Amino acid sequence: MAKPLKFVQTSGFFNYLHIFANTIFNTLGTFRGKECPQVAVCPLTLKGGGGEQLDRKYMERALELSKRGIGFTKPNPLVGAVIVKDGKIIGEGYHQYFGGPHAEINAINNAKEDVKGATIYVTLEPCSHYGKTPPCAKAIVESGIAKVVVGMKDPNPLVAGKGIDILEKSGIEVITGILEDDIKKLNEIFIKYITTGLPFCILKTAMTLDGKTATVTGDSKWITGEGSRRYVHELRHKVSAVMVGIGTVLADDPMLTTRLEGVQAVDPVRVIVDTKARIPLAAKVLNLKSEAKTIIAATSKADRDRLDAIKSKGAEVIITPPSDGKVDLGYLCRQLGERGIDSILLEGGSELNYSALEQGIVDKVVLFISPKIVGGNNAKTPVGGKGIPFIKGAIALVKTEILRFNEDFVIEGYLRKEEK
Ligand code: AOF
Ligand code: ZN
């Protein structure tokens, strides 16, 4: 059986190869009974109960399809669509890559029967605007589809209910809110970015059972196991940028690329927070072969010749006003948002983690705990900085969840400010 293209392709040649292959299989493969690499299993029939139970079942399928776009649609949403007629799935599609046809259009184009009178399940409200593509709501009306089941309303102010209006005014029955929480969670990056213009920031850190991110000698390879490390690379594939402090570059000289064995993946933009531009010109992040660029964020404290030398290595420099003598992270996030960066994976170190939490740019925390003990009064912990003096001032997470990778645990949670 063909391997699903989960996390497949990146930029350049492979990008086009993937898009080409998906287009061919979309239009031909599925509907000649061949296996389709876009759709791992192309079940043309899903049996289930009636009413809402059936709606959930088809929406689950649309949600699964939408996940195939992870990493490739940013900063646009992950969207899947399923068309059902006479109790059978007759067409499926998802938003495959940024700028490409929307999920609904792919599903309509893939339909193996006339969609007249059918129901379309789509994870996001069909759009009403002329963007890179014409409005999907109009295409649905013109197709003769009779009913639209929507997962979540589109938070994009250009759409926000107008897509549903177009459908209803044309006499199409619309149901909304099926699997809404799951779909919102999958699109949490899109929701924040489209409504604020600011990137969704995930603080990721890994520690031992006794709360250390390295031993007293600074050794940190590896605290977590392979499964956890793969999850980090999936996160890097998913986000637009990865951010670290200069301390991490000086200590570890990381590449900050995405490495997922057996599949091609997208590299994030690398952002180094480096107030005085201390980065060595030989640092790996300034000498990588990667389609994604490196950005050095500094303040006016940085030496101009040094900044010119960094630029001559191909990196971009962003100068921010000082915040407590360091890079202003709020300003930096606005600058990154303006460059189309919808999400940041913040990978330390402990000083930057504290500044990010203190300056309020963090939306989500992903904390790996590996059941190892290293001790040491001077061994580093995930969050340093000045520290919060009293527990009542502690930064609290809400909506926490636990994942597990072999012996490692991962705690994920959101900063309280997030209304989800
Ligand atoms: C997508 N894929 O499947 C759907 C989207 O930049 P454009 O013209 O492609 O439009 C992007 C907007 O379209 C997006 O912000 C969202 O509001 C709406 N729906 N977008 O990328 C899709 N259905
Ligand atoms: Zn659309």
Ligand 1 atom closest to the Cα of residue 106 is 3
Instruction: State the pLDDT confidence band at 13, using cuts at 50, 70 and 90.
Output: very low
C-alpha separations of 298 from 198, 313, 347 in Å = 19, 16, 18
Ligand 1 atom closest to the Cα of residue 156 is 17
d(CA 43, CA 41): 6
d(CA 241, CA 25): 31
- Report residues whose beta carbon is within 6 angstroms of any ligand 1 atom: 73, 76-77, 79, 95, 102-103, 124, 127, 131-133, 136, 154, 156, 159, 194
**Best residue for ligand 1 mutational test, from 68, 110, 124, 140 (most atoms within 8 Å of Cβ):** 124
Q: 402 Cβ partners below 8 Å, 6+ apart?
A: 409, 410, 411, 412
- Cα of 401 vs centre of ligand 1, distance in Å, is 29
Instruction: State the pLDDT confidence band at 416, using cuts at 50, 70 and 90.
Output: confident
d(CA 78, CA 183): 9
Q: Catalytic residue positions? A: 104
Ligand having the closest approach to the CA of 95: 1
Protein residue whose Cα sits closest to atom 17 of ligand 1? 156
- Count the neighbouring beta carbons within 10 Å of the beta carbon of residue 145: 24
Instruction: State the pLDDT confidence band at 38, using cuts at 50, 70 and 90.
Output: very low
**Best residue for ligand 1 mutational test, from 68, 102, 121, 189 (most atoms within 8 Å of Cβ):** 102
Ligand having the closest approach to the CA of 122: 1
Query: Where does residue 12 rank: exposed (0-12), middle (13-18), buried (19+ CB within 10 A)?
Result: exposed
Protein residue whose Cα sits closest to atom 3 of ligand 1? 102
Ligand 1 atom closest to the Cα of residue 79 is 3
**Best residue for ligand 1 mutational test, from 72, 127, 130, 140 (most atoms within 8 Å of Cβ):** 127
* 296-338 pLDDT per residue, tens: 999 999 999 999 999 999 999 999 999 999 999 999 999 999 9
- Cα of 60 vs centre of ligand 1, distance in Å, is 20
Residue 29's pLDDT is 33
Is 2 in contact with 35 (CB distance < 8 Å)? yes
The answer to pTM > 0.85 is yes
Protein residue whose Cα sits closest to atom 2 of ligand 1? 102
The residue among 161 and 416 whose pLDDT is bigger is 161
Q: 355 Cβ partners below 8 Å, 6+ apart?
A: 323, 324, 326, 329, 385
Residue 259's pLDDT is 87
Identify which of 3-7, 16-20, 392-396 has the greatest average pLDDT: 392-396
The residue among 162 and 36 whose pLDDT is bigger is 162
Residue 264's pLDDT is 76
- Cα of 379 vs centre of ligand 1, distance in Å, is 47
Q: What is the mean pLDDT of the chain?
A: 89
Ligand 1 atom closest to the Cα of residue 130 is 8
Using the predicted structure, report yes or no on whether residue 21 has a pLDDT greater than 50. Answer: no
Q: How far is CA 81 from the centre of its chain?
A: 19
Mean pLDDT of 171-180: 97
